[in-house]
Amino acid sequence: MKIEEEIRQGKFQSEYHKLAINLTFTANWLTRQVTQGLKPHKLTPQQYNVLRILRGQHPNPASINLITERMIDKMSNASRLVDKLLAKELVERTTCPLDRRQVDVKMTKKGLDLLEKIDIESKNWDDNLKALSKKEAQELNSLLDMLRS
C-alpha cells in the first residue's frame, strides 16, 4: 500500500517530507514484525541486538562501550539491557581485571543456545522483505547509505 493510503494523507509538502514519513513508517512496520518473532523467546529487539554483538565477540568478552558502539540504536542504554539479559542468565558480567572501570560481558551457553534456535526462525523473517528483488534491495541499501551522507 502506498504511504499516502497507510496514513490517509492525500498529499505531502514535498517528496522529501514524504520520504521522512515513509522511512519512519516502514521501519516501524519492520520492527513490529521482529518484535513478534522474538516474543516467544521473551526477547526484545534491543536485547537480541546485544546478544548478537556478544556472539560476534565470543569467546572474548565485550565492554559496555563496545556494545553501545555496535548497536543499531546507539542511544539505547546497553547497561540496563545487559541487566535484563543477566537476569535471564543469557550473559555473565564481571569486572575487567585490567581496568576496573570496565565490565566484561560474555555470552553463556544458555545464551548461545537461544541464539542458535532463533537463527533458524529468523531466516524466515527476512522473507517479509522479499517483495523486493535482490537488485532492488541493493539499490535501497545504497540509497539509504547516501541519504545519511
Which of positions 12-41 make contact with DNA (CB under 7 A)?
Answer: 28, 31-32, 35-36, 39
Residue 52 binds to DNA (criterion: CB under 7 A): no
Q: Which is nearer to a copy of itself, 14 or 100 (CB)?
A: 14
Residue choice 113, 116, 121, 139 for contact with a copy of itself (CB under 8 A):
139
Residue 71 binds to a copy of itself (criterion: CB under 8 A): yes
Q: How many residues bind DNA (CB under 7 A)?
A: 31
Contacted entry of DNA, a copy of itself, none for residue 60, CB cut-off 5 to 8 Å set by kind: none
Residue 81 binds to DNA (criterion: CB under 7 A): yes
Please say whether the beta carbons of 122 and 37 come within 8 A.
yes
SS (H, E, C) the chain: CCHHHHCCCCCCCCHHHHHHHHHHHHHHHHHHHHHHHHHHHCCCHHHHHHHHHHHHHCCCCECHHHHHHHCCCCCCCHHHHHHHHHHCCCEEEEECCCCCCCEEEEECHHHHHHHHHHHHHHHHHHHHHCCCCHHHHHHHHHHHHHHCC
| Residue ranges in contact with a copy of itself by CB under 8 A | 1-3, 6-9, 13-32, 34, 56, 69-75, 125-126, 129-132, 134, 136-141, 143-149
Chain residues binding DNA by CB under 7 A are 28, 31-32, 35-36, 39, 44, 46-47, 63-66, 73, 75-84, 93, 96, 99-103
